[in-house]
Amino acid sequence: MSDLVFTTPDGLVVFPVHLLLRMESYKQSTSQLPESGGVFFGSMRGKHIEITDISLPQPDDSQSRYRFARKSIHHFKQAVTFWEQSSGAVSYIGEWHTHPENIARPSSVDLTEWKKKLPKRPVFLVIIGINNNWYGYWNGCSIIQPVLKV
C-alpha cells in the first residue's frame, strides 16, 4: 500500500498507511471498547507535513467509552526522543483519537479543547470512526477544517 496524501489550504500532508492501520486497530467496534488515542510525530517540509510515527494509548491514559485524555508521560518522552534523535527535525505534529460512531466527526468538546491546546502552527488531526474516519487540519490560528485525500 502507498502512503495517503491529503490536501490542506497550505500544502500537503503525507501519512503512511501502516500508521493508519495501527490506529484503526483501536476502533470502537464493540460497546466495551473505550476511546483511545495518541499523537503524531513528523516534520514540516516547507508548507507540507510528513507524518513519520505515532504514539499509542498507554495504561495510565484516561479512557472511557466517550472520552480519551493523554495522561501518560510516555507520549511526551517519545516526542523528546524523536526530537533529540533527529536534531530537532521530528516533533509533535498532531494527534488522533477514536470515536464510538460509524462516521467520525469532531465533537464540540474536541473543537473546544483543540482550539485551547494546539500549538500556534499547523497540525494534522484524525478521528478514527467505526466505518469512516475524519481527517482534519489546524492552521495554527483559529481554523480547524476537514481535509480530503488526494
Bridge partners (DSSP) of residue 92 are 41
The C-alpha torsion from 134 through 40 and 92 to 55, rounded to 10°, is 130
Catalytic residue among 24, 35, 84, 95: 35
The three-class DSSP label of residue 72 is coil
Indicate if 35 belongs to the active site: yes
Query: With 0-12 CB in 10 A as exposed, 13-18 as middle and 19+ as buried, what is 33?
Result: middle
Contact 48, 16 (CB under 8 A): no
Catalytic site residues?
35
